[in-house]
Amino acid sequence: MNHVKIFDTTLRDGEQAPGFSMTGGQKLRLAKALEALKVDVMEAGFAAASAGDFEAIKTIATEVKDSVVCSLARCNEGDIRASGEALKPAARGRIHTFIATSPLHREFKLKMSKAEILRRAVAGVELARTYTDDVEFSCEDAIRTERDYMKTVCEAVIRAGATTINMPDTVGYTTPEEIQDLFEFLTTQVEGAENVIFSAHCHNDLGLAVANSLAAIRGGARQVECALNGIGERAGNCALEEVVMALRTRKDFFGITTGIETQGLYAASKLLATITGNPVPRNKAIVGKNAFAHESGIHQHGVLANRETYEIMKPEDVGVSTDNLVLGKHSGRAALKARAEKLGFTLADNQLASVFAAFKTLADDKKEVFDSDIEALVLGEAVGVQGPWTIDSLYVSAGSDNNREPEAIVRLSHEDGRTETHVSRAKGPMNAVFAAISEIAQIPMHLEHYAVTSVSSGKDAMAEATVRVATEAETYQGRGTDTDTVLASALAYLDVINRIERRQARNATEDRPIAAQH
C-alpha cells in the first residue's frame, strides 16, 4: 500500500504542551480546519482527563463528518468507557488505548509484570471493541521495549481485535536507521501484520521527529501521528506540514501519497498560532514567514530567472499567496470573501459580516489593505470574542523628561458588568500599561517575553504583538493586532488575562486533568 494515513494529535498531545491549552470552542474551530485539510484521523482529546475534554470530544464527534474522530484511553475500564461514550455521536469513531511496555516503565511507573501488562492490553482492546470496530493500540515507550516482548504484545492485541498498532517514540530517543529497522521487523515478523496498519508517533527531543517518521514509513509504517506546527509534549511532535510536504515534494524517492489538501496548511498553521497565542517562528519549515523569502542577491537573481533554482515547492502549494492584491475602502463584500478564500479561509455569512465590518474600519485607517492585513482580520474572527475582559479606553504618556515616569490610564469592562479604571506609572510606557491591566484583573504575572512585528508593509501597517508571561503555576502566550502598536500590545497582554480567567472558570467545574504521554 503506497498511501499513508495522517493521524493528527494537535488537539490531544499538542494541547497538553504548556502554553497550548484551548477552550472547547477553540478546539472545535481547529477540528473543522483539520477536517478541511482532510486528515484521516484527528485525536480530539483524552475523554477521561476532565469533563471539559469529554464534552469537547463529544462536540467534535457530533460536528466532524469527514475525518475519523479519536479519543485516547489508558488500558483501564474507566478510560475506555469514557472514550466510548464521548464518541457515540461520531460518524466514524476510534478508541486509542495504550499501556507502557518498556522495562523502565514496567518497573518504575506501572510496577507490573510482563504478564499483567499483556493481560491489561488484551482486555483494553476487547472492551474498546464493544464500542467501535476501529481500535488503535499503542505500546508506550515502544522504542525501549524488548523486541520479543513487543512481538508478543502486538500479536495478542491483533487477535483481540486491534486494527492499528502504534509504536510511539515516547521520549524522542530513536534514530532514522533504528526505527526503520523496527518497522521492517514488525511488518514481516508479527503474526497478523497483514491485517493491521502499523503507525509511528515520534517526538522531537533530539530534533529527529520528522526524519524518524519518514524512516518509519520506509520501514512499512502506513500511519504517521503528527501535529500542526510540530506542537506537543516537551520539544513537540512530528510536524504535520513537514512530513506531508516531504512526502509530496520527494514522491520520486518515497513513492508515497497522503490525502491532505496541502493548500490549507498555511491557514491551519496560522489559526493554531492565533488560538494558542504562540506565533510560528520565522524560520519554521513550510509555514514560517521566511520559508519562501529570499534576501541574498544571488538567490533573488536565481528565483527571478527560474523559481526552481532556490524553491523546491511552490508557495501556493501550501496556501501562501504570491498575488498580493490590494483592497481599499471602496472594495465590497464579494471581493473580500473571494480574497479570503484565496488565502485559504472559508467564511460563513455571520463571519463575513463581522470581518467586513472590521475591514471597513481598517480601510478607513489605511489607504491600502494587504493580504496579511486580511489574514489578521479573519484569524481574529476565527478565534472569536475571548473575554471576559475588554478594553474600553487606553491612554499612555511617555517621553524623555527625566522628572516624569510614563503613565498609563486603562479602563476595562468585564462581562459581569463591572467597569474598572486604573492609573499606573512605570519605567516604560508598556510596563505601565501591563501593570494597570494586572492591577484591574487582580492577576499578578511576570513578563518573560514581549515582541511587536509589522503584519504588513508601510507606515500605516498593522502591528502584531505577542507576549509570554508566567504565573506561579503556568506559562501563557498572548497575541493582539491593531494599527496602534500600544493598543495591540495591550490586547496581547489582556489576551493572557482572559486565558487565565477562562481556565480558572473551567477548573472550578472540572476534575483535575490527567496528563497522558506516549
Binding residues for Mn(2+): 13, 201, 203, 237
Strand partners for 223:
5, 199
Other CB atoms closer than 10 Å to residue 501's CB: what's the count? 17
Whether a cis peptide bond, with omega within 30° of 0, leads into 388 is yes
* 201 CB-near residues (< 8 Å, 6+ apart): 9, 138, 166, 167, 168, 169, 225, 237, 238, 518
Residues of the binding site: 13, 201, 203, 237
What is the DSSP annotation of 211-240? HHHHHHHHHT--EEEEBGGG--STT-B-BH
Q: For the chain, percent helix, then strand, then coil, each to nearest 5?
A: 45, 20, 35
Q: Compute the distance between CA of residue 479 and CA of residue 277 in angstroms, rounded to an integer.
A: 5
Q: Compute the distance between CA of residue 170 and CA of residue 109 in angstroms, rounded to an integer.
A: 14
Question: Which residue type does 424 have?
Answer: S
Rounded to 10°, the helix 114-129/77-86 angle is 20
- Can you read off the three cell numbers belonging to residue 275? 488560538
Query: Taking a C-beta distance cutoff of 8 angstroms, is the pair 393, 424 a contact?
Result: no
Instruction: Count how many residues are written for the chain.
Output: 518
Residue among 173, 167, 214 nearest 186 (CA):
167
What is the DSSP annotation of 435-504? HHHHHHHT---EEEEEEEEESSSSTTPPEEEEEEEE-SS-EEEEEEEESSHHHHHHHHHHHHHHHHHHHH
In a 3-state reduction of DSSP, which class is residue 138?
strand
Backbone angles phi, psi at 156, to 5 degrees: -70, -45
Q: How many CA atoms lie within 13 A of 64 on its CB side?
A: 34
Residue among 454, 443, 426, 455 nearest 493 (CA):
443
Quote the Cα angle for 229-21-144, to 5°.
Answer: 65
